[in-house]
């Protein structure tokens, strides 16, 4: 651990605890007691109000007034942030997130109730496979360095890309990279799981006009189509979570009527097909025909030809 990181960690620990001994700090950071003494001198010279306590139960503490004055966030604010980060940690798959969580934990009042909210996500093995790509993308964005990679689209077509990376975006279950493609000379969004042979270039770039990116974001939204579907009460919660309770109305003693918007592409078909026999599209009729063709193509893969 670098000295600056150790000093920050010492402050965070002292914000949580009253007094911590030199021995505890030395064991925690795997350094000598003399190193801890020098760290305390450095903090004092930096106007951090560290005080020492002599005796068997002695050690170092930080003035309560400092704890109160320097906490720009309330304990409740910190707990809310900690709750969100703890749940998102499984998605972000980043060592930096773990460090951040530990720092915030050190600032939360130990007497505060815990566990009022819990977030859980599927710990899919595939997420670990994009760890390095995600980390390299973060580094390239911060350093404003060009990146190159092979990109495989949904049809299996592979193209080489040179990108100015601007932002990482997590949507539902997947990570995406937003950037300016120097081959297409347009803003593009790339799914990280479709990126191969990632390389960070030595060349840097100057950020482009952000309004152009906003214009791209607007144009990137998929076209939606309004439709009506009969659904089973067993999947009602899925539609309420995505579209709100106003999208659902009673239809019969066994069915509900859902009025929703879906992308007018294969993603819309995939979403609707995921509900199986619990959903039946009834309007518009041309969409029903398109969806039927989609399902027929799917079924062809499972029809066994008689010998």
Q: Does 71 score more than 70 pLDDT?
A: no
Q: Can you give the residue ranges of every domain in the chain?
A: 3-70, 75-107, 127-220, 224-300
Q: Please tell me the least confidently modeled range out of 7-11, 80-84, 157-161, 248-252.
A: 80-84
| 186-217 residue pLDDT tens | 899 999 989 999 999 999 999 887 555 555 55
Q: Does 306 score more than 70 pLDDT?
A: no
pLDDT at 97: 61
Mean pLDDT, rounded, for 51-79: 71
Six token digits for residue 103: 């720092």
pLDDT at 86: 57
Which of these CATH numbers, 3.10.530, 2.30.30, 3.40.190, 1.10.3470, describes 127-220?
A: 2.30.30
Indicate the CATH number for domain 3-70.
Answer: 1.10.10.10
Q: Comparing 3-70 with 127-220, is the CATH topology the same?
A: no
Confidence label for 283 from pLDDT (cuts 50, 70 and 90): very high
What pTM did the predictor assign? Answer: 0.56
Which of these CATH numbers, 1.10.3120, 1.10.8, 3.30.70, 1.10.101, describes 224-300?
A: 3.30.70
Span between the terminal Cα atoms of the chain, in Å: 68
């Amino acid at each position: 651990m670098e000295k600056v990181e150790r000093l920050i960690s010492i402050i965070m620990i002292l914000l949580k605890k009253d007094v911590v001994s030199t021995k505890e700090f030395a064991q925690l950071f795997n350094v000598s007691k003399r190193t801890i003494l020098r760290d305390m001198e450095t903090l004092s010279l930096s106007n951090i109000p560290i005080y020492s306590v002599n005796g068997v139960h002695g050690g170092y503490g930080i003035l309560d007034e400092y704890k109160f004055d320097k906490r720009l966030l309330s304990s409740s604010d910190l707990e809310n942030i900690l709750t969100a980060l703890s749940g998102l940690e499984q998605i972000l798959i980043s060592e930096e997130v773990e460090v951040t969580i530990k720092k915030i934990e050190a600032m939360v009042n130990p007497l505060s109730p815990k566990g009022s909210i819990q977030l859980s996500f599927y710990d899919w093995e595939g997420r670990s496979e994009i760890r390095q790509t995600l980390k390299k993308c973060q580094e390239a964005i911060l350093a404003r360095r060009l990146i190159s990679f092979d990109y495989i689209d949904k049809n299996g077509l592979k193209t080489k890309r040179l990108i100015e990376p601007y932002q990482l975006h997590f949507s539902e279950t997947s990570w995406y990279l937003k950037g300016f493609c120097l081959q297409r000379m347009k803003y593009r969004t790339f799914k990280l799981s479709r990126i191969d042979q990632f390389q960070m270039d030595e060349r840097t770039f100057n950020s482009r006009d952000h309004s152009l990116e906003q214009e791209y974001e607007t144009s990137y939204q998929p076209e939606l189509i309004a439709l009506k579907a009969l659904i089973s009460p067993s999947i009602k919660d899925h539609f309420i979570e995505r579209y709100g309770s106003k999208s659902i109305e009673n239809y019969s003693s066994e069915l509900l009527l859902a009025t929703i918007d879906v992308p007018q592409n294969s993603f819309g078909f995939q979403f609707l097909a995921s509900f199986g026999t619990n959903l039946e599209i009834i309007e518009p009729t041309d969409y029903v025909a398109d969806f039927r063709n989609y399902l027929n193509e799917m079924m062809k893969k499972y029809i066994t030809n008689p010998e």
